[in-house]
Amino acid sequence: MLSLGFSLPLNSNIALTSRSNRYNFRTKFPKVLAATSNSDNAAVKLGRGPAVARALPDGLKRELMPKHLAVIMDGHRRWARQNGLSVDHGHRAGEEKIKFLTRLCCQWGIKVLTVFAFSTENWVRPKQEVDFLMDMFLNLATLKENLDEWTSLDIRVSFIGDKSTISKSLREAVTVVEEMTKSNSGLHVIIALNYSGRQDILQATKSIASKVNTGHLAVTDINKNIFEQELETHRAEFPEPDLLIRTSGEQRISNFMLWQLAYTELYFAKKLFPDMEQEDFIDALKSFQPRERRYAGDQLVTLPEGLKHVAVIMDGHRRWAKNKGLTVKQGHRAGGEKIQVLTRLCSQWGVKVLTIFAFSTENWVRLKEEVDFLMKLFLELIGSQENLDEWTRDGRRVSFIGDKSILSKSLQKALTVMEERTKCNSGLHVIMAINYSGRHDILQATKSIASKVKNGHLTVKDIDQSLFEQELETHCAEFPEPDLLIRTSGEKRVSNFMLWQLAYTEFYFANKLFPDMEEADFMEALMSFKSRQRRYGGQNI
């Protein structure tokens, strides 16, 4: 027997429903008999106690399985349209598929499954569709069969997102489910409902600023650990996804878990979510297992409409050198020359902003000889009179983002000279990210805001998206958010680069190593943007 030892306000009215039973909960909760399923179609046979991980499908190794899997389940409406069904049927099919995936995760021993169920932008959809989704979420949280299955499989369920704008009955149902399952130790299912990655960062910033203002924190206390304790995912044992699956062929992260996805491997499936089968999820996991996860590691062109800012993670210099029997230094030198080629091409093609991830805060863990060479190479490229003359002649503006405080004085001076000499230029704006980290960018913005609150220049209520973006290092750009991110070498992750700014960016992953990229390869990446159907909250933009 399952006893619910907690209560809601006296005016609460939560219904726990089944096909034959309906329970109305008011203040005190009756005991609920846990059921079992004997369905021949069940992916997991339900029973008392935690689910036991089964043998993995062929090709998967348990030691290489992701601990945290996140899913952007895209394509419900298109699936319905293709099958001549209503939008409601599409969402219902997606709901059934996520239940199926939940059972698979239990079988395969995955620890955390996070599902992007409803974004803050989805409110722009037709009212009838939104109302149906809210009813579906309410039924999900109150249907007796669901609660029984979560209990039988030892599943813990949590919800993240802004609950203040959802209905009172749904808020109460969410509370019931979280309380009922909080002691379960099996799969942790996190449902992102009315969630936004940027809003998550903003609410963390507001909380930290309030604590600074009341004296519970000092600005100097603000670091990665403090910040992560304020994010909504702090309740998960493994808060950062190892693998993100997005369906329907779209290649962007749509403002989902921006901080948390800093080092996540990305998998983009072409199938619509309701069409995903067990083999498709297995394929996604197989793609994850062989990945080498590293922490640190004059042509006239008509650009696609809306493409103003291109960002590049230029990956593969060391592998390129190894493949050619050359030194690592020669690989980096080849990458530097290729960046100069890309810069000239972007000037010719009319790109407004080009941001280059040149050196991350994690790259300091590399061999000292390699790091010293990179710093020398940056000084050579930036301090070269020939390069300075070319960039001035072509009207390029150059800015640098990242923590400059630990760079050599000579390099800091060269950066300042380049920025000053080019700041009035109106052509291509090249932003070089040196000793940069997306998380550090968010942290320094949070510290700055907290200081201003403490000094009385701001109130916590003043903190919003526009204010936060003014504190990010990319505020120097006319178009601070990349439209397209190009990453080379076949890796599919963002590596802690521009996390806030990439919320709605389209991704292009090139298999070639960066020094091997040619003009045609860059053009192919840019032209891929033309075929993308960009949507904001499900609406075309």
Give the list of residues 6+ apart from residue 332 with CB closer than 8 angstroms, or none.
317, 318, 370, 373, 374, 377
Q: What pLDDT is recorded for position 294?
A: 58
Q: Give the per-residue pLDDT at 293.
A: 59
| Residue 304 pLDDT grade (very low, low, confident, very high; cuts 50, 70, 90) | confident
C-alpha span between 460 and 201 (Å, rounded): 14
Please list, in sequence order, all residues whose beta carbon lies within 8 angstroms of the beta carbon of residue 423, skipping any fewer than 6 positions away: 397
Rounded to whole angstroms, the Cα distance separating 72 from 256 reads 8
pLDDT on residue 35:
30
Amino acid at the residue 27? T
70: Cα within 13 Å, side-chain hemisphere: 22
Confidence of residue 17 (pLDDT cuts 50, 70, 90): very low
Question: What number of CA atoms fall less than 13 Å from residue 142's CA on the CB side?
Answer: 22
Q: What is the pLDDT of residues 361-385, one digit of tens each?
A: 999 999 999 999 999 999 998 988 8
For residue 87, pLDDT beyond 70: yes
Q: What is the pLDDT of residues 58-71, one digit of tens each?
A: 999 988 999 999 99
- Given 154, 275, 315, 441, the catalytic residue: 315
Q: Please, are residues 252 and 84 in contact by the beta-carbon 8 Å criterion?
A: no
pLDDT score, position 298? 43
Q: For 26-51, what is the mean pLDDT?
A: 34
309: which 2 tokens? 């800012």
Residue 48 is predicted with a pLDDT of 37
> CA separation (Å) from 345 to 192, 296, 340, 385?
41, 28, 9, 21
Indicate the Cα dihedral angle 67, 73, 194, 110, nearest 10°.
-20
The two tokens of residue 457 are 């220049």
> Active-site residue 315, yes or no?
yes
pLDDT tens sequence across 412-462: 999 999 999 999 998 999 999 999 999 999 999 999 999 999 999 999 999
What pLDDT is stored for residue 539 in this prediction? 55
44 pLDDT band, cuts 50/70/90, is very low
Low-confidence winner among 37-41, 48-52, 213-217, 279-283 (lowest mean pLDDT): 37-41
At 55 the pLDDT is 82
pLDDT tens sequence across 184-208: 999 999 999 999 999 999 999 999 9
Q: Which amino acid is at 451?
A: S
Q: What is the pLDDT of residues 317-328, one digit of tens each?
A: 999 999 999 999
Residue-wise pLDDT for 385-394, tens only, equals: 888 888 888 8
Give me the mean pLDDT over the 20-24 stretch.
38
Residue 385 pLDDT:
87
Q: What is the percent of the chain where pLDDT is above 70?
A: 86
- Dump the DSSP string for 282-340: HHHHHHHTT----S-------PPTT--EEEEE---HHHHHHHTT--HHHHHHHHHHHHH
The mean pLDDT of 25-41, rounded to a whole number, is: 31
Which residues does residue 484 pair with via DSSP β-bridges, in sequence order? Answer: 310, 506
254: left (phi over 0), alpha (psi -120 to 50) or beta: left
**Residue 291 pLDDT greater than 90, yes or no:** no
The stretch 255-270 carries a mean pLDDT of 97
Which pLDDT belongs to residue 303?
78
According to the model, what pLDDT value does residue 52 have? 53
What does pLDDT average to over the chain?
88
The rounded distance, in Å, linking the Cα atoms of 362 and 503 is 22
Q: Is the pLDDT of residue 25 over 80?
A: no
Which of 263, 348, 356 shows the shortest CA–CA distance to 309?
356
Closest of 298, 434, 304, 457 to residue 364, by C-alpha: 434
pLDDT number for residue 506: 95
Q: State yes or no: pLDDT of 23 exceeds 50.
A: no
Q: What is the pLDDT of residues 454-463, one digit of tens each?
A: 999 999 999 9
pLDDT of residue 404: 96
Residue 11 banded pLDDT, cuts 50, 70, 90:
very low
Give the pLDDT score at 88: 97
Range in 29-43, 157-171, 212-226, 444-458 the model is least confident about: 29-43
Q: Do the beta carbons of residue 259 and residue 265 sit within 8 Å?
A: no
* pLDDT value for 320: 97
CA nearest neighbour of 320 among 488, 522, 485: 488
Pairwise CA distance, residues 208 & 200, whole Å: 12
pTM: 0.80
- Residue 290: predicted pLDDT: 79
Tens-digit pLDDT profile for residues 143-166: 888 888 998 999 999 999 999 999
Kind of pairing between the strands at 22-25 and 14-17: antiparallel
pLDDT score of 536: 54
Q: How confident is the model at residue 535 (pLDDT cuts 50, 70, 90)?
A: low
Phi and psi based region of residue 16 (left: phi greater than 0; alpha: psi -120 to 50; beta: remaining): beta
